[in-house]
Amino acid sequence: MSAALQPRTEIRNMSNRDLRGVSAVEQASYEFPWSPGIFRDCLLAGYQCLVLVTDGDVSGYAIMSVAASEAHILNLCVHPELQQQGFGRQLLNALCTRAQAMGVERAFLEVRPSNDAAMNLYRSAGFEQIGVRPSYYQAHGGREDAVIFAARIDEALRETGETDAR
């Protein structure tokens, strides 16, 4: 009888040495990916930048800006081969836990309405749709709207099973 091996994972702060792996995940995940320079700029700006490392390789990341008592989740991504395994939820939990420790009360984000997995993740984590940004995303044949979500950090942590700052 053999048990399936679970990958060794950790979530840690992103550094410059992670940028190649982060860019590879971004390229594998999106038709209109961020450039490597955008990720570098996020690090330089002091944004909260996390990486998911699986068996030694960058397999996901999350980026959040914080101002006053609000957070803006700018990007959260897991490599397509590892999606639907709870890693996105782990990254979201890590961001929300960090936001709570920084005194953040609410988080906002935008997501493509065509990204069903992300829409379901955010809804299940207590995020609620509060609006739409018309023609926000580049898309084949034009533009795609963005759905705007918001959540109270304490409620998001409660929904995902996390209740205290780490």
Q: 27-52, pLDDT tens digit by residue? A: 999 999 999 999 999 999 999 999 99
Q: 61-117, pLDDT tens digit by residue? A: 999 999 989 999 999 999 999 999 999 999 999 999 999 999 999 999 999 999 999
Q: How many CB atoms lie within 10 A of CB 58?
A: 20
pLDDT greater than 80 at residue 13: yes
- Sheet of 142-152: strands edge to edge? 9-13, 48-54, 57-67, 70-78, 106-111, 142-152, 128-139
pLDDT at position 3 is 54
- Name beta bridge partners: 113: none
H or E element: which one contains 63? Answer: strand 57-67
Taking domain 9-159, whether its CATH number is 2.60.40.420 is answered by no
Q: What number of CA atoms fall less than 13 Å from residue 14's CA on the CB side?
A: 32
The pTM for the full model equals 0.90
Catalytic-role residue among 26, 122, 137, 162: 122
Reply yes or no on whether 61 is catalytic. Answer: no
pLDDT greater than 80 at residue 165: no
- DSSP per-residue codes, 109-122: EEE-TT-HHHHHHH
Q: Name the residue with tokens 């936001």.
A: 99
* Residue 59 Ramachandran class (φ > 0 left, ψ -120 to 50 alpha, else beta): alpha
Q: 118-164, pLDDT tens digit by residue? A: 999 999 999 999 999 999 998 988 999 999 999 999 999 987 765 44
pLDDT at position 7 is 74
Q: 83 with 117: CB under 8 angstroms?
A: yes
Q: Which amino acid is at 16?
A: N
Residue partners of 41: CB distance under 8 A and separation at least 6: none
Q: Name the residue with tokens 């990007």.
A: 75
pLDDT at position 161 is 64
Q: 26 with 33: CB under 8 angstroms?
A: yes
Catalytic-role residue among 30, 47, 70, 110: 110
Query: How far is the C-alpha of 3 from the C-alpha of 139, rounded, in Å?
Result: 42
